[in-house]
Amino acid sequence: MSQQLFEDDVKFLQRFLKSAGFNPGKIDGIWGSKTDAAEDEFLKKSEQIAASYGKFYQRSERNIITLHPKAQEAARQFLKRLQDAGINARIISGTRTYAEQDALYAKGRTQPGSKVTNAKGGQSNHNFGIAWDIGIFDSQGNYQGESPQYDKAAEVGLFAGLEWGGNWQSFQDKPHYQMVTNLAIQQVKERFEKGEYYI
């Protein structure tokens, strides 16, 4: 099978796979048979999780598949709770490579009104596969940047082990959810880069 995740960043993919318990071989940024097999295993595992926890709208699926398997399970449980409560939410962002995070950070500083992150590459839980952002949509499928449904989503969707950006003191981030690791972000980063467990 050809490479499907994080296409332009093999090293990022290898770190991601290894820290999630797969064996991509040496973390060297070079695509080889071990990395290929590890990605296949990851995709297989992801399909099993989807079969157990249910599938969702296509855009959500595209983003869920970029998450750490434990976050995939949590994200699907979370979306199910929202769906049962009649909230039309989709996961509009999942894992970002360091380069993608840097690009997002830069964009927020050159385009007024588009500041969506304070984090550079390696400083966000999105870079380690354990965070996602939701969007609320109306019945016609229009994205709602502001809606009381963001609070409602946290009310019905949160469970132990999940943290909501809406509870943060500085830079409140209502669309954002992440897995609780009990580690400082710097420790998560170090473990991720070595391919060690952090969740």
State in angstroms the smallest separation of the CB of 38 from Zn ion. 26
State in angstroms the smallest separation of the CB of 124 from Zn ion. 7
Decide if residue 133 touches Zn ion (CB under 5 A).
yes
Query: Residue 37 or 92: which CB sits closer to Zn ion?
Result: 92
Beta bridge partners, 8, equal none
Size of the site for Zn ion (CB under 5 A): 2
**Nearest-angstrom CA–CA distance, 136 and 139:** 10
57 three-state secondary structure: coil
Segment interacting with Zn ion (CB under 5 A) among 29-37, 42-50, 99-107, 170-178? 170-178
Query: Residue 24 or 135: which CB sits closer to Zn ion?
Result: 135
Query: Residue 39 or 173: which CB sits closer to Zn ion?
Result: 173
Beta bridge partners, 135, equal 90
Decide if residue 176 touches Zn ion (CB under 5 A).
yes
32 three-state secondary structure: coil
Tell me the two tokens of residue 110: 């050159």
Closest residue to Zn ion: CB criterion = 176
Segment interacting with Zn ion (CB under 5 A) among 79-87, 106-114, 128-136, 183-191? 128-136
Segment interacting with Zn ion (CB under 5 A) among 36-44, 58-66, 69-77, 175-183? 175-183
Complete DSSP assignment for 61-90: HHHHTTS-HHHHHHHHHHHHHHHHTT--EE
**89-93/131-137 β-pairing:** antiparallel
Q: Taking a C-beta distance cutoff of 8 angstroms, is the pair 181, 198 a contact?
A: yes
- Applying CB under 5 A, the residues found at the interface with Zn ion are 133, 176
